[in-house]
Chain A
Amino acid sequence: MRAKVVSAVMACLMASSLVACGSSSTETTAAGTSAAKESGGASSGKSIRLVNGKIEVDSQLKKLAEMYEKESGVHVEIESMGGGVDIQGELKAYYQSDNMPDIFVCGGAADFDNWDGLLQDMSDQAWTSDTEAAYKDGDSVIGFPYTTEAVGLAYNADILEKAGVDPKSITGPESMKKAFETLDSKKDELGLTAVIGYFAEPVNLYWSTGNHLFANYLDSGLARDDSTYIDMLNDGGKIDDNRFADFATMVELFNKYSDPQLLVSGTYDQQILNFASGKYAFVTQGSWIGATMTGDDAEAYKSAGNFKCGMIPYAFEEGIDTILTNSPSWWAVYKDGDVQDAEAFLQWLTTAPAQEVLVNEAGFISPYKSCTYVASDPFAATISDYTAAGKTSAWHWLNMKDGYAQNYTGQVFADFAAGSMDKDTFISTFKQVTASAYAG
């Protein structure tokens, strides 16, 4: 009997180790490492640590860190995360083990709210007057912008020209439909697989539909500080019926003219490669694909004639004439870290030699007015044009609820694309899903 009890208890404890995995911290270990860090930091000279969320520019940032160390003697350690790593989760683990970096990446309101009260107000820094893309919380500036990204309907200018479609003529749903029809009828002579490379795969690409495409419902055509639709959404998940119906009509159009091989189960790589090879006239991705086209897909892009690219607004309502540009994420300075050196490093990043590396080598589009470098990126020129004309809207989707796209709407877009829903069901389901996302 006793053996039985003992074995039952043991089994119980074994299973309990499972739950223990879930909670990663104990008070003692957290405090223990902080002491180790304090003493370590003091003895090894000045060093700051930056957690970067764009793993693709890791080597460029390391180069910058080297340059900065030569100049100021402060060592900057670059720690890059990406490729499916949950950065905020990782940062929380760092926080629990008292191993916080001095500078780390934050991607929007939800992220900044998490760290509320733990971030340094940088409003006294010189760079804040040089940009409008800084992340502000009330009067305090807590996010350092480092690049600009744009969301618009990207097109292959050469193909549109050959087909006799003027991208500027697409100003609303009617003209968009007409352009798609024209292109579809000339598919064979233009060498197109499909008019548009749109897809709604929910596992790895939920962000393309749930965040970036849906962003157009929230912001397209609005002034940068107009937060009408995001406010509605954050007020218990309300959706504007008329605007969303128009948006749904556009998605339906995309579903119809997209590549059926891609539509439901494609991959990002496939989508960009096909666009770079000139097989799609349009693609539903943002300016970041430029780096892929001139990098990984350079060969295909070259054999397709290094065609010109541009972006048009997602004109799902007549009169929408803006593309969405924003800093996709910001760097924040941790209050209890080495604030002074971190701020000095960020200030240095806005100077000409650092901007040159960021723009020319990392392919960033600088959010700083004083920056004179222009990236060789295929989309850089379009973005500059829209910015100069003042035809840009903000990215208010960054303020959506955590996990809204991944756990809720990405799937609805996928079902719509797969044909298991018609437009009306799509709209009603979308609203229902949104309500439950904001309820729980």
Chain B
Amino acid sequence: MKSLFQADNRVRDEHDNDSLTSGAQTIAHTGPFTDRAISLIPLIAGLAVTFAALILDFTGSKLSFRGGLLIAGVILFFIGLYLYPTKKHHRAIVNIIFLFPLLFCFVVTVIIPFGLGLFYSTTDWNGIRMTKFTGLGNYITMFKEQSFLWSLVLTVLFVIVNMVLVNVIGLSLAVLCTSKMKSVGFFRASFFIPNLIGGIVLGYIWQFIFNNVVLKWTFETFGYNSSMLSKYNTGFLAIIIVYIWQYAGYIMMIYITGLTTVPSDVIEASAIDGATAVQTFFRIKLPMIASTITVCTFLTLQSAFKQFDVNMALTNGTGSVTFLGQYLSNGTQMLALNIYNTAITKNNYSMGQAKAVLFFIILSIVSMLQVHISNKREVEM
């Protein structure tokens, strides 16, 4: 390890020497003043052009060349920056130049829309224009809205139920599919395939099944003439069933990978010690795949939280429920769908945005928790 670092340092030293000597040569040829001028001209020109383009843009100018102007300005600026005669910051400048394209994309596609989203959540924006600021009004109304609170409760419930069921079922399928059965490959593939079908398509397929096949069966057996999807509790159950059907195969694949990495010598040793299959599973395999369990738990947690497509295609949030003493008509509507409906069908974009911000906060807490826990566990391993 140490020698590697030394080698690396040596390379770095040589490189620095190189740039030093070449720098010295250029100084000898052109002198420090001209050198600085060469770099400063494009640097300043680039800045000026960029700002001009931005000003044109923000004033809503109709000049169509301002996009090109902006790009030219930025490129000029970086040429100037690159040519700037400095030994001390050369490395930093090169780093910035290489990082810039990625950072720029990230800022344009994530940071700016995120900032705008935060901004819009404090206004009465309707997707077209805003007329006034409402401050925290949207956030306060949000928590007074029973239907939103219900969506929140329902989502948490959905996440907990699914986190447990998907993992248990996924793990049992993985155990089955790693056993010495015939045609294991076929079973693996068929359990995994539902995950390849899009949620909307899947939702409509299952809607048909629930509304026709299951309905016919319940009608004949119990004389119950409304489908599972028409009541909030059975509808919720239906979404869970479809979600497990879709996601358990995926989780199973990850568990299979985990189970196959359990060293066979440990299993062999346990077999020699006389461990039964059940003992081997709970005492040997399960602790060995602890990190896989963490990964899978958070995968299911996050994806269950963001559940949208199956929810939308299957019930679209319908089903009546009495919650906090009030009749609500969004009995199976989960958080993501609630946000979508608030913005789109109720035409209240700013409120939808405020709810999305809350959604973000919840998800980032979950993500940070995940990072924290998996870091800790990795240390233990």
Contact = CB atoms under 8 A, between A and B. Distances in A.
Contact of A89 (B62, B114, B127, B329): B127
Given A38-B64, A408-B329, A22 B375 contact: no
Given A8-B371, A16-B360, A110-B347, A26 B67 contact: no
Given A414-B230, A418-B226, A407 B62 contact: no
A139 interface: no
A171 to B, nearest CB: 32
B341 interface: yes
Interface in A9-31: 11-29, 31
Interface in A84-118: 86, 88-89, 92, 95-96, 110, 114-115, 118
B90 to A, nearest CB: 24
B230 A202 contact: yes
Contacts of B146: 436
A19 B317 CA distance: 21
Given A19-B114, A89-B127, A412 B347 contact: no
B316 A15 contact: no
A410 interface: yes
Contacts of A15: 360, 363-364, 367
Nearest to A440: B145
A55 interface: no
Interface in B318-365: 318-320, 326-327, 329-331, 339, 341, 343-349, 352-353, 356-357, 359-360, 363-364
B108 A265 contact: no
Interface in B35-74: 57-58, 60, 62-64, 66-67
Nearest to A405: B345
A203 interface: yes
Contacts of B329: 202, 407-412, 433
B368 A11 contact: yes
Given A92-B128, A412-B320, A27 B58 contact: yes
B142 to A, nearest CB: 10
A251 to B, nearest CB: 16
Contacts of B117: 19-20, 22-23
Most chain A CB within a 10 A radius of its CB, from B126, B207, B225, B353: B225
B109 interface: yes
Interface in B207-247: 207, 211, 215, 225-227, 229-231
B370 interface: yes
Contacts of B110: 13, 16-17, 20
Most chain B CB within a 10 A radius of its CB, from A86, A110, A407: A407
A432 interface: yes
A273 interface: no
Contacts of A408: 329
Most chain B CB within a 10 A radius of its CB, from A4, A415, A432: A415
B67 A32 contact: yes
B196 to A, nearest CB: 23
Contacts of A410: 318, 329
A172 interface: no
A35 B330 contact: no
A416 B62 CA distance: 57
B230 to A, nearest CB: 5
A432 B320 CA distance: 13
14 contacts: A4-B375, A12-B367, A15-B367, A22-B117, A23-B120, A27-B58, A206-B318, A403-B346, A407-B329, A408-B329, A409-B329, A410-B329, A419-B226, A429-B327
Interface of A: 4, 7-8, 11-29, 31-32, 34-36, 38-39, 86, 88-89, 92, 95-96, 110, 114-115, 118, 201-204, 206, 260-261, 263-265, 267, 402-403, 406-412, 414-415, 418-420, 429, 432-433, 436, 440
Interface of B: 57-58, 60, 62-64, 66-67, 106, 108-110, 112-114, 116-117, 120, 126-128, 141, 145-147, 207, 211, 215, 225-227, 229-231, 306, 314-320, 326-327, 329-331, 339, 341, 343-349, 352-353, 356-357, 359-360, 363-364, 367-368, 370-372, 375
Pairs A-B, 4 closest by C-beta atoms:
A411-B329, A92-B127, A11-B367, A265-B227
